[in-house]
Amino acid sequence: MRTAYHRRVPEISPDPSTGRDIASQYEPRRVEDVLYRRWVDRGYFTADAASEKPPFSLVIPPPNVTGSLHLGHALEQTLMDAVLRRRRMLGDEVLWLPGMDHAGIATQVLVEKHLAETEGKTRHDVGREDFVARVWRWKEEYGGKILGQMRRLGVGVDWSRERFTMDDGLSKAVQTIFKRLYEDGLIYRAERIINWCPTDHTALSDIEVDHADDEGELVSIRYGDGDRSVVVATTRVETMLGDTAVAVHPDDPRYAHLIGTEIELPLVGRMIPVVADAHVDPEFGTGAVKVTPAHDPNDFEIGQRHSLPMVNIMDEAARITAHGPFEGLSREDARHAVTAALREEGRIVAEKRPYVHAVGHCSRCDTVVEPRLSLQWFVRVEKLAKAAGDAVRDGRVTIEPPALKPRYFDWVDNMHDWCISRQLWWGHRIPVWYGPNGETLCVGPNDTPPAGDGWTQDPDVLDTWFSSALWPFSTMGWPARTADLSRFYPTSLLVTGYDILFFWVVRIMLFGLYAMDGEVPFRTVLLHGLVRDKYGKKMSKSRGNTVDPLDWMDSYGSDALRFSLARGANPGLDQPANEEWVAAARNSCNKMWNATRFAILNGATVEGDLPTELGPVDRWICSRLDEVTAEVDGYLASYEFAKATATLYHFVWDEFCDWYLELAKVSLTSGDDAAAATTRRVLGEVLDVSLRLLHPFVPFVTETLWTTLTGGESLVVAPWPQATGQRRDAAAEAEVAALQSVVTEVRRFRSDQGLRPGQRVPARLSGLDAAGVAPHEPAIRVLARLEAPTDGFAPTATLGIANGVTVELDLSGTLDVAAETARLGRDLATAEKERAQTEAKLGNADFLAKAPDHVVANIRDRAAIASAEIERITAQLAALRSRA
RNA sequence: GGGCGCGUAGCUCAGUGGGAGAGCACCCGCCUUACAAGCGGGGGGUCGCUGGUUCGAAACCAGCCGUGCCCACCA
């Protein structure tokens, strides 16, 4: 009985729980929510600390509580999810811990802005307690939007373990480590030059400052008079009001006579010393530098070395406080005013404008940072950073890709002490109390804060990154020795963008090694690149090229977004994102959908073992499947996401769909029931394995298809395919390649001849035996639309194919000689070029003597093939001419 | 100033000693019974420049040009 390989089936319920959904297009929105809820409800993502399975754990880089999903998150979470879904299928007990960061400045600024807009008040108007309460309310109302967006993306996080950096537990961890560091002398309070933002009115750490080349001015000023004068150059004229010395290099003969003397500071009239300091570069400018210890980090150090007074001339908003005509001016206005005054006194020697130099800006509001002398809390990092460097140096922590290791070392080996106090209200309050008699008391989580008159807590809060640095272990209950900690710590992997290597990764290393007695916080750090726009430009609101990933998920489905992001993810490199590529990925999902739909409608099955006796086509696809399984597994294991997805894409589309399915149709309609049954089983096999391999990247569509195809519970907990190598079959691969070349050549001929794709052409095939494709003649005829020769068969064209097959076609006398001549001419040129190149090599004695044997053999083969091609094509051209 | 990249088809990128590749875009022909979100066919690149190493260089080395990022206390 003849088996139809296709039959019309009415579209049935889209609910994958009720059975088979065989619409002709994949509709993501009909399955995504249902499946995600099911995965969560079934507890697939809930880690079991008591499990016997090997643990694999990862904490999510906590997004800002006020944030929303952007493409960077989507990429990062797609990569994490892909890694973890594979680990889960491999049988690991996977913990993926989600949560959010309170994001000190970012959140506070947002709420302050809201307060100003809605009530016209500042935070000072409402007071600290009320303001913090408002931030909490804001967080409850608007925060956490991103968590819902993560569900859309399909990420397998353990919602039962969700954490927030301001949770009680995490706050306790913050207090614990603060006290421990304090008692170890690794946290101290000191008056130092720090980066101050005059807009946000808070201290910043070094990495919260962005340097930019700005156009400024370089003004040279003469201090003192006559022999006792010196010219100094500065980009910040206004700071001269706070100068307390002039410094020169100790070995500079030009100024040797001035060292130790005093000269008069213009405008101010103060006498200031000339000091010798090796920091001064005699080559730069005049070789003399003004020293403002309270407003420049270098000058501060010179001041320390020479016990110079420190004169602070600015307030928190960077307005001049020095008494006199400039008091109250902004630093910018003061710069002009002071310059004008100096010019009037004839003290300006030179002015260079514009003068381009590096200027620090607040990374949050872009205000020019003011170096400011201020009493702040610091972490003494030297010892901690050394340990953090060693952990990578000795291989206990691996950084992927390794090319980014120099950046890591650059940071940990040159780190300055970390300023951790912030003059904000939203954050972890510094757990230190000051007593009425100058006492300082650090309070741990189990201590009772001091009470009574005169005791006050430090008003500042900690840098956001202080609590982020504890994230991998504070989220697991540290400092308590919890089951999660003993089971899942150290974490297996940290996935994050290289842009926060310093902000976060390094600081986790600092605190992690310290808090956990030298235990590393993670074994591997995987640094991914940034998502850029389709032209490779950085995405930013000001450029207007930002993309809301939800829009793309709405249009094309979560899987499409995930697949396109994974496909662009080459290790450590930035990647562009383009809506067209997401659309292409959507098309791929649809392709998988329809291929599986075809297979299911034709009775594909996964029941029972594969037949031991397989035909060459089945052996070929099984051979390729085994190879692809090995490749994809290897790529995923080494975080080569782009290669893993590209391999799958090409296998599924170019090999399975374009060739195997078409050949399967031949088998299914052949009337050979045994062959058809084998084909149905192989179809089921290839799809089963392919869907499992694809699942880490495109979980929704694969889950829908796989459960329908196999009746299995879920791909989330299905076993990960293992390549055995036993099905590799080079002979079958060669045989199918020969078949493909015949079909392709005929198709090419047909296209050149302008034959309609559907038109069947009578043809006689010969040489099939020698080419090893004799059993495939029926398939070749179907795929190339060639009919058996009829009674009046009169071939008008003879097509020679490189593998020795000849196809004679009866075109009813309509052969387009010109088109065919042109085609053969192009082929001939290609073959002649190949022959010339290969024979040139073979004529080179050095090549023959020095190149490895296999290379020489390969060139000989190619030369022979090229010669044969030339002969064949020449003969065909001659035949064509004689016909014309 | 130091460090790390990048420069390959119109666009975005793989390829890292031995036959120039992919996706998208483009051109031609097709609604051929899984899929027009599809099918078949096709065109397109002196691999930034110069020199070197080598039998052989897109790949390795040097220099140059262009470009991006990170770090940095040259007033």
- The yes-or-no verdict on residue A484 having pLDDT over 60 is yes
Between CA A347 and C1' B72 the distance (Å) reads: 32
| Predicted local confidence at residue A425, as pLDDT | 92
- The yes-or-no verdict on residue A109 having pLDDT over 50 is yes
Mean pLDDT along residues A235-259: 87
Between CA A786 and C1' B28 the distance (Å) reads: 22
Instruction: Kindly state the percentage of chain A with pLDDT values over 70.
Output: 97
- Asked whether strand B has any atom less than 7 Å from the CB of A414, the reply is yes
| Predicted local confidence at residue A884, as pLDDT | 61
User: Which band of pLDDT confidence, cut at 50, 70 and 90, is reported for residue A204?
Assistant: confident
- The yes-or-no verdict on residue A725 having pLDDT over 50 is yes
| Predicted local confidence at residue A521, as pLDDT | 95
Mean pLDDT along residues A487-498: 93
A251 burial level (CB within 10 Å; 0-12, 13-18, 19+) = exposed
Q: What is the pLDDT of residues A804-852, one digit of tens each?
A: 899 998 887 777 888 888 888 888 888 888 898 899 899 999 999 999 9
Q: Which residues of A in 221-240 have their CB below 7 Å from strand B's atoms?
A: 232-236
**Contacts of A743-750 spanning 24+ positions with Cβ under 8 A:** A743/A780, A743/A783, A743/A784, A745/A799, A745/A801, A745/A802, A745/A807, A746/A780, A746/A784, A746/A786, A746/A799, A746/A807, A747/A784, A748/A823, A749/A797, A749/A799, A749/A807, A749/A809, A749/A820, A749/A823, A750/A784, A750/A785
Residues 6+ apart with CB under 8 A from A158: A45, A46, A47, A95, A96, A97, A98
| Predicted local confidence at residue A651, as pLDDT | 95
The 3-state secondary structure of A247-281, one letter per residue: EECCCCCCCCCCCCCEEECCCCCCEEEEEECCCCC
Mean pLDDT along residues A640-653: 93
Between CA A578 and C1' B47 the distance (Å) reads: 25
Residue entry with tokens 């130790």: A260
| Predicted local confidence at residue A741, as pLDDT | 92
Instruction: Report the 10 Å Cβ neighbour count for A323.
Output: 10
Between CA A815 and C1' B12 the distance (Å) reads: 42
Residues 6+ apart with CB under 8 A from A571: A400, A401, A528, A639, A640
Between CA A591 and C1' B36 the distance (Å) reads: 13
- Asked whether strand B has any atom less than 7 Å from the CB of A5, the reply is yes
d(CA A34, CA A389): 46
- Asked whether strand B has any atom less than 7 Å from the CB of A185, the reply is no
d(CA A723, CA A681): 18
Between CA A123 and C1' B9 the distance (Å) reads: 58
Q: What is the pLDDT of residues A298-343, one digit of tens each?
A: 888 888 888 889 888 888 888 888 888 888 888 888 888 888 888 8
Mean pLDDT along residues A433-445: 91
User: Which band of pLDDT confidence, cut at 50, 70 and 90, is reported for residue A53?
Assistant: very high
Token pair of A170 as six digits: 């995490």
Continuous segment of H or E residues that includes residue A95: strand A93-97
Token pair of A543 as six digits: 């450029």
- The yes-or-no verdict on residue A14 having pLDDT over 80 is no
User: Which band of pLDDT confidence, cut at 50, 70 and 90, is reported for residue A790?
Assistant: confident
Asked if A770 and A714 touch (Cβ cutoff 8 Å), the reply is no
Between CA A801 and C1' B42 the distance (Å) reads: 19
- The yes-or-no verdict on residue A38 having pLDDT over 90 is yes
Between CA A827 and C1' B19 the distance (Å) reads: 16
Between CA A283 and C1' B74 the distance (Å) reads: 10
d(CA A48, CA A42): 13
Q: By mean pLDDT, which of A111-115, A178-182, A186-190 is the weakest?
A: A111-115
| Predicted local confidence at residue A22, as pLDDT | 64
- The yes-or-no verdict on residue A19 having pLDDT over 60 is no
Token pair of A30 as six digits: 């009909």
Q: If you compute the radius of gyration of chain A from its CA atoms, what whole number of angstroms results?
A: 37
- Asked whether strand B has any atom less than 7 Å from the CB of A658, the reply is yes
Between CA A11 and C1' B75 the distance (Å) reads: 77
Q: Which residues of A in 568-627 have their CB below 7 Å from strand B's atoms?
A: 568, 570, 573-576, 580-581, 584, 586-587, 589-591, 594-595, 597-598, 601
Between CA A565 and C1' B9 the distance (Å) reads: 23
- Asked whether strand B has any atom less than 7 Å from the CB of A499, the reply is yes
| Buried-exposed string A214-244: b where 16+ CB fall within 10 A, e elsewhere | eebbbbbbbbbeeeeebbbbbebbbbbbbbb
- Asked whether strand B has any atom less than 7 Å from the CB of A401, the reply is no
- Asked whether strand B has any atom less than 7 Å from the CB of A11, the reply is no
For strand B, the positions having any atom within 7 A of a protein Cβ are: 2-5, 11-15, 18-19, 22-25, 28-30, 32-43, 54-56, 69-75
d(CA A445, CA A431): 9
User: Which band of pLDDT confidence, cut at 50, 70 and 90, is reported for residue A17?
Assistant: very low
Instruction: Kindly state the percentage of chain A with pLDDT values over 90.
Output: 47
Q: Which residues of A in 271-290 have their CB below 7 Å from strand B's atoms?
A: 279-285, 287, 289-290
Token pair of A94 as six digits: 């996977």
